[in-house]
C-alpha cells in the first residue's frame, strides 16, 4: 500500500513547473555555524508552478433594482471550483536542508528539517500569520509541552491548512499576528530554541487543520509532511489533504455538509482581515445568492434596513440579515443583504445550500460595494467569534470542513 501511494504521488507530481522568487533574507545574523546531518544535497529547483491566487475583488456588474422576496426555487449550488495555490519548500535554499520521515520518532505526524543556524524558514504558501512566539520560555524542569517549540511561527494557508515551524533562532521583522504573507516570504531563521536547545539545529515542521492558536497538540502536526516536503523540494506544486477531525465532538465533517455561502462562488471575492474582530466580507454583484453554509435553524432575521448614519447604532448596522444556528452547533451570520428569501423566518429549518437572501449593501455598508458580512460564532453568550477565512477557503475548494468550536 505504501509503495502504491508513492507511485501515485509520483504520477501526480509529474506535471508542475514555473519560476519562484524567494523573499530577501531578514536582517538577522546567524548565531553559529553548527553542522547538520549529512544528506544528499538537492539543488534549488529550476522552476515551480506558479498558480493563480484567490479571485480578485469583483466589480459590480448589476445596476438593476434589487429583486424583492426571492423564491426558494433557485437553491441549486454551483460546483465549487478548486483554488490553485503555490507551495514551496519551507527551508531556503532547499539544498541546505536534510530531513527524513519523522512520524515514528515524534509519535505524531511531523518532520524535523535539519539546517545550520540562520538558514531561512519561509512560508510554504500564501496565508495569514496565526501564531507567534518570539521568546524562548521553555523550562526543562517543568517541560510545559505548549512551550517546547521555543521561537516559532504558524500560518493559516489560503489552502485551508495550518503550517507550523518551531525551534527558530529568530522571527523576521514585520511578522505579526494577522499579517498576510506570500509563498516564499521569510518568516524566521532556523535554530534550536525550546526543547531542541541541546540538539542539532533544525526546524520542527507540522501541518494541521486550522484551530485556535493555543491548541498546541494540533499545531505540532496532524498530516505527515514528509511526502509533501519531498515534492516541494523537487519543485512540484501539490496541496496536502485537510485532516479529518476525530478528537472533538464539535468537528465531525462526516455528519454535516458545507457549501460556500455565496453562489456561484466564482462571483465572490474575499480576503482575510479588515475588521477589529473575526469576520470576513465576501464581495459579489448585487443580487448574487446568499445560501446556508450548512443545515440548521434560522435564529434571527432582519427584513428592514433601520440603520441611520446619524446615530450609527451598531445593533442595526447589518441592515437586512439572517442568523442561522447550524446543526453543527455553530452560529452563522450574514448581513448587508438586499433581500430576504421568501419563507425565511425564525424557527424555520434550512438545508445546506438553501437560499437565504441576496447580496446587497444595506446597513452601514450602503456606501460600499455590495457584499455579505459573514461571521461564525458560538451559539450562546458571549457569542465568541471564530475567524471564518480558513473555513471559507476550504468550502470554496469543495472541502467538507466543520469549523472548530471557538474557545470560550
Topology of 56-83+244-408 in CATH? Glucose Permease (Domain IIA) (2.70.70)
- Residue 311 has what pLDDT? 86
- Would you say 283 and 324 are in contact if contact means Cβ atoms under 8 Å apart? no
- Domain boundaries in the chain? 12-49+86-233, 56-83+244-408
- Residue 273 has what pLDDT? 66
Instruction: Tell me the C-alpha distance between 128 and 126, whole Å.
Output: 7
Q: How far apart are the two ends of the chain, measured CA to CA in Å?
A: 42
Is the pLDDT higher at 291 or at 250?
291
Task: For the full predicted model, state whether its pTM sits above 0.85.
Answer: no
Instruction: Tell me the C-alpha distance between 259 and 265, whole Å.
Output: 9
- Comparing C-alpha atoms, which of 327, 330, 370, 336 is closest to residue 356? 336
Burial 122-153 (b: 16+ CB within 10 A, else e): bbbbbbbbbbbbeebebeeeeeeeebbbbbbb
DSSP helix/strand/coil, 183: coil
User: Each residue of 345-371: pLDDT tens digit?
Assistant: 999 999 999 999 999 999 999 889 999
- Would you say 280 and 392 are in contact if contact means Cβ atoms under 8 Å apart? yes
> How confident is residue 302, by pLDDT bands cut at 50, 70 and 90?
very high
Helices (H), 175-322: 216-219, 226-233
Instruction: Tell me the C-alpha distance between 404 and 252, whole Å.
Output: 10
- Residue 184 has what pLDDT? 96
Q: Which residue's entry shows cell 428592514?
A: 304
Topology of 12-49+86-233 in CATH? Glucose Permease (Domain IIA) (2.70.70)
Q: Are both 12-49+86-233 and 56-83+244-408 of the same fold?
A: yes
Lowest mean pLDDT of 4-13, 84-93, 100-109, 143-152, name the range: 4-13
Is the bond leading into 105 cis (omega within 30 degrees of zero)?
no
Amino acid at each position: 500500500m505504501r509503495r502504491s501511494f508513492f507511485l501515485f504521488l509520483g504520477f501526480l507530481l509529474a506535471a508542475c513547473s514555473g519560476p519562484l522568487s524567494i523573499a530577501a533574507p531578514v536582517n538577522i545574523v546567524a548565531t553559529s555555524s553548527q553542522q547538520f546531518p549529512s544528506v544528499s544535497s538537492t539543488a534549488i529547483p529550476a522552476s515551480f508552478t506558479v498558480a493563480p491566487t484567490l479571485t480578485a475583488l469583483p466589480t459590480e456588474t448589476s445596476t438593476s433594482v434589487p429583486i424583492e422576496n426571492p423564491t426558494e426555487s433557485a437553491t441549486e449550488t454551483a460546483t465549487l471550483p478548486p483554488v490553485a495555490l503555490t507551495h514551496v519548500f519551507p527551508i531556503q535554499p532547499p539544498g541546505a536542508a536534510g530531513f527524513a520521515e519523522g512520524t515514528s520518532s515524534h509519535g505524531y505526524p511531523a518532520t524535523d528539517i535539519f539546517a545550520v543556524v540562520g538558514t531561512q524558514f519561509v512560508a510554504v504558501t500564501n496565508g495569514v500569520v496565526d501564531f507567534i512566539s518570539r521568546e524562548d520560555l521553555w523550562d526543562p524542569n517543568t517541560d510545559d509541552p505548549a512551550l517546547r517549540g521555543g521561537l516559532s511561527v504558524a500560518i493559516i494557508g489560503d489552502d485551508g491548512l495550518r503550517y507550523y515551524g518551531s525551534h527558530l533562532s529568530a522571527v523576521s521583522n514585520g511578522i505579526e499576528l494577522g499579517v498576510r504573507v506570500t509563498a516564499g516570504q521569510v518568516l524566521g531563521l532556523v535554530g534550536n530554541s525550546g526543547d531542541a536547545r541541546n540538539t542539532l539545529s533544525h526546524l520542527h515542521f507540522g501541518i494541521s487543520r486550522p484551530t485556535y492558536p493555543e491548541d498546541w497538540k494540533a499545531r505540532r502536526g496532524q498530516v505527515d509532511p514528509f511526502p509533501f516536503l519531498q515534492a516541494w523540494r523537487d519543485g512540484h506544486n501539490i496541496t496536502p489533504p485537510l485532516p479529518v477531525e476525530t478528537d472533538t465532538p464539535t468537528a465531525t465533517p462526516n455528519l454535516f455538509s458545507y457549501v460556500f455561502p455565496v453562489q456561484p462562488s466564482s462571483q465572490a471575492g474575499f480576503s482575510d482581515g479588515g475588521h477589529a474582530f473575526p469576520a470576513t466580507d465576501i464581495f459579489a454583484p448585487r443580487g448574487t445568492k446568499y445560501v446556508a453554509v450548512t443545515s440548521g435553524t434560522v435564529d434571527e432575521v432582519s427584513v428592514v434596513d433601520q440603520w441611520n448614519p446619524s446615530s450609527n447604532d451598531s445593533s442595526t448596522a447589518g441592515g437586512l440579515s439572517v442568523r442561522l444556528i447550524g446543526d453543527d452547533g455553530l452560529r452563522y451570520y450574514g448581513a448587508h443583504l438586499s433581500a430576504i428569501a421568501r419563507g425565511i423566518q425564525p424557527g424555520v429549518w434550512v438545508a445546506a445550500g438553501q437560499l437565504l437572501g441576496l447580496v446587497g449593501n444595506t446597513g452601514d455598508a450602503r456606501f460600499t460595494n455590495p457584499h455579505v458580512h459573514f461571521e461564525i460564532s458560538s451559539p450562546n453568550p458571549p457569542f465568541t467569534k471564530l475567524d471564518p477565512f480558513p473555513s471559507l477557503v476550504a468550502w470554496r475548494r469543495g472541502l467538507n470542513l466543520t469549523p472548530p468550536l471557538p474557545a470560550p
